[in-house]
Amino acid sequence: MDVILGPEIQQFTFRYVDDLLVVSRSFDEHLSHLKQLFRALADAHITLNLEKTKFFQTEVVFLGHVLSTKGVFPDPDKTVAIRDFPRPRTVKQLRAFLGLCNFYRRFSSTYSDAIFPLTALLQKDHKWSWSEREECAFERVKSLFLETVILGFPDFSQPFYLQTDSSGVALGCELYQLSSNEHLVLGFASRVLHGPELLYTVTEKELLAVIFGLKKFRTILLGHRVVIRTDHYALKFLGQCRLLNERLTRWTMTLNEYDFVIEHVAGKDNVVADVLSRFPPQLGDVSLVKGPMPIVATVEDYVVGLFESRGRQRMQDLFLHLGDHQRADPFYGPIITRLLGQPTVLNITQNRLSVHFSLHNDVLIYTHLTDGFPCLVVPEKFVTPLIIYYHEVFGHF
């Protein structure tokens, strides 16, 4: 179909297999677009089914979404299936439920937090146990789709605001614009800190939240003015200090790709980003908002799967049971035994390096004697998968 339509017609059409959607700014432009489309289809000897064709619509259902002049929101017929989904009794049923919810995850700012207790049941070798905690999470996820959330579009003639925050275990950000003193949200994003990121300094975590937000909304922000708002005051002076940390230097180079200014905001005013960064969530009573909510967000996010990759499950298993994996490692296991005061025999290499190791909450830590920087010890069998995973998910920064 793309070959038949050509690049010019593709600019004002959305295509999925044999479904075509034509979008235009005005009625006259729409007539011109339809004329170009019909000419291309006729040249290719393609006919349309008139009964399945609708013209001059201000609201259409397309690929499970309702598109209108006001924005985009989920097809009510689809969200009914989520709200009426029975309690899962197997891993397969839970995967089906979360897979259905994932299709509409961009319509909720707290979706990742809500599903956290449920994703633990999907881990390999995890015994199925459905308690009150899982039931609360299940009902909370379903309640997210009781709201009618309208997602709108960014105005590229106005500056953007990226509000970021980092808690001890997660990152959160909110992209928005100000129009006639109205706060128009363009998108939310959050993710958990992984493995070594948990050992970053406060400044590193706060800057990582900024980098995460910029990369999440890169297609919108690149080439446009963006005000980065953070409650970490030290980031205001990022460009004025000599960075000795290679990681901060690399991230600063990423920042330099954008036209930005950093603005400090008091923590009490950094509400949304702060909430998004709090992880895991506190499950409890859910206050529901009835009626449509005029929240604006981008439509360009891709539909994501249950996990970013199979590698994510393996990495979750690694860091959730890191101490057990370290003790099972043939090289690090004996070192842990020695640190616990139990008799064991170490080879020359283990004995020489043992002064660098210590135990913290039953997890083996390696400390560089030169700079005193602590590092989590990764068992040998996880080294290559860990490198591949971080390269695929986080890129090179």
Q: What is the pLDDT of residue 332?
A: 92
In the chain, which residues fall in CATH 3.30.420.10?
160-293
Q: Which overall architecture, per CATH, does domain 74-149 show?
A: 2-Layer Sandwich (3.30)
Q: What is the pLDDT of residue 110?
A: 67
Three-state secondary structure of the chain: CHHHHHHHHHCCEEEECCEEEECCCCHHHHHHHHHHHHHHHHHCCCCCCHHHCCCCCCEEEECCEEEECCCEEECHHHHHHHHCCCCCCCHHHHHHHHHHHHCCHHHCCCHHHHHHHHHHHHCCCCCCCCCHHHHHHHHHHHHHCCCEECECCCCCCCCEEEEEEECCCEEEEEEEEEECCEEEEEEEEEEECCHHHHHCCHHHHHHHHHHHHHHHCHHHHCCCEEEEEECCHHHHHHHHCCCCCHHHHHHHHHHCCCEEEEEECCHHHCHHHHHHHCCCCCCCCCCCCCCEECCCCCCCCCCCCCCCCHHHHHHHHHHHCHHHHHHHCCCHHHHHHHHCCCCCCCCHHHHHHHHHEEEECCEEEEECCCCCCEEECCCHHHHHHHHHHHHHHHCCC
Q: What is the arithmetic mean of pLDDT over 184-210?
A: 82
- Distance, in Å, from the CA atom of 14 to the CA atom of 269, rounded to the nearest integer, reads 39
For 347-383, the pLDDT digits (tens) are 988 888 888 888 887 889 888 766 667 788 888 888 8
Of the listed ranges 107-111, 118-122, 227-231, the one predicted with least confidence: 107-111
- pLDDT greater at residue 330 or residue 168: 330
State the average pLDDT for the chain: 78
Model confidence, pTM: 0.53
Q: Give me the CATH code for the 160-293 domain, please.
A: 3.30.420.10
Residue 309 pLDDT level (bands cut at 50, 70, 90): very low
For 3-42, the pLDDT digits (tens) are 888 888 888 888 888 788 999 989 999 999 999 999 999 9
Residue 289 pLDDT level (bands cut at 50, 70, 90): very low
In the chain, which residues fall in CATH 3.30.70.270?
74-149
